Amino acid sequence: MDTIKIYGIEFYAYHGVLDSEKELGQTFRIDCEFSLDSSVCNDDINKTVNYGQVALDIKEFASQNRYDLLESLANKLASYLLQKYELMDDIKLAVHKPHAPIATKFDDVTMTVRRKRERVYLAIGSNLGDRKDNLDYVGKAIDSDPSIKLLAKSSYIETKPYGVLDQPDFLNGAIKVETIYTPKELLDFCKRTEKLAGRVATRRWGERVLDVDILMYGNNTVFTDDLIIPHPEMHIRDFVLRPLEEIEPHLIHPIKNKSIRELLKEVE
């Protein structure tokens, strides 16, 4: 992708932990880089990102909001800009705080973040209550959240329970979204959606009102205590692969290096 860079956007603001920083304020600077496809603009400013307006947006947002941490400012600003400018593929922000209250000589303090849009695949399932309504709730949650956009949704299939057999049959599906959430933020979105739909804690692999699992997050891999991407069992679960194959049959699993259609054939 092509890149536009705006360096040294200066403003006066009140970000900081200390009371003196909140009351007196200080000068900050922000460097901004973002990627887009410039080949489609055809010399029309309405088909590209107006970097002059981006600079003004950065100054206004950073001046009018107050945060204790540079990390919060950088993350909130990145999300705001990606939500406003859909032609931005990714963005990198460096927030400079040259007058930070540090008890030694220094030149600058800089906090840098990079965020991008990712194509993500989710598995959804339910076997309690109105199962279809529960699965449809995920789409409603996505529609109401500016950080995530629905791109495709499979039809729903009925499947037998997995792991624990003495429970009702499931209704399962898969959805494709575009999001600016990080993997951990997306996990929070999934858990929050489950809770709002009425899910409560039960036995492992047991019955649930709604289950929302992250299957793939672009071509990225994540391995932490609470999140593994790609989903560690997606390649052996028929009820995951069948809906996913419907909407993205040629999607390549980043570890197995096989398409969803190939993985499904192996399971079948």
Domain boundary among 96, 116, 136: 116
Q: Please count the other Cβ atoms lying within 10 Å of the Cβ belonging to residue 197.
A: 22
Q: What is the pLDDT of residue 248?
A: 96
Q: What is the pLDDT of residue 105?
A: 96
CATH number at residue 187: 3.30.70.560
What is the rounded distance in angstroms from the CA atom of residue 46 to the CA atom of residue 88?
Answer: 13
Q: What is the pLDDT of residue 204?
A: 79
* pLDDT tens-digit readout, 143-163: 999 999 999 999 999 999 887
Domain boundary among 116, 144, 165: 116
131 and 203 within one domain? yes
- Band (pLDDT 50/70/90 cuts) for residue 100 is very high
**DSSP assignment string, 129-165:** SSHHHHHHHHHHHHHT-TTEEEEEEPPPEEE--SS--
What is the rounded distance in angstroms from the CA atom of residue 172 to the CA atom of residue 157?
Answer: 5
Q: Please count the other Cβ atoms lying within 10 Å of the Cβ belonging to residue 37.
A: 12
User: Structural domain of residue 133, as residue ranges?
Assistant: 118-267
CATH number at residue 74: 3.30.1130.10
pLDDT > 90: percent of the chain: 93
107 and 49 within one domain? yes
* pLDDT tens-digit readout, 21-51: 999 999 999 999 999 999 999 999 999 999 9
148 and 39 within one domain? no
140 and 90 within one domain? no
* pLDDT tens-digit readout, 194-207: 999 998 887 777 78
51 and 37 within one domain? yes
106 phi and psi angles, rounded to 5 deg: -155, 165
Residue 20 Rama label (left phi>0; alpha psi -120 to 50; beta): alpha
Domain count, the chain: 2
> Per-residue pLDDT averaged across 103-108, rounded?
96
156 and 36 within one domain? no
DSSP state of 251: P
Both structure tokens of 134: 């529960």
134 and 107 within one domain? no
Q: Which ranges of the chain would DSSP assign to H, the alpha helix? A: 19-24, 51-64, 70-84, 131-143, 183-196, 238-247, 260-267
137 and 220 within one domain? yes
Place of tokens 């959805």: 175
193 and 150 within one domain? yes
- What SS3 class is residue 68? coil
222 and 109 within one domain? no
170 and 104 within one domain? no
Q: What is the pLDDT of residue 98?
A: 97
What is the rounded distance in angstroms from the CA atom of residue 210 to the CA atom of residue 202?
Answer: 12
Mean pLDDT of the chain: 95
110 and 123 within one domain? no
* pLDDT tens-digit readout, 236-252: 999 999 999 999 999 99
Domain boundary among 116, 141, 166: 116
Torsion of CA 8, 9, 13, 17, to 10 degrees: -50
Active-site positions read 97
Q: Please count the other Cβ atoms lying within 10 Å of the Cβ belonging to residue 9.
A: 20
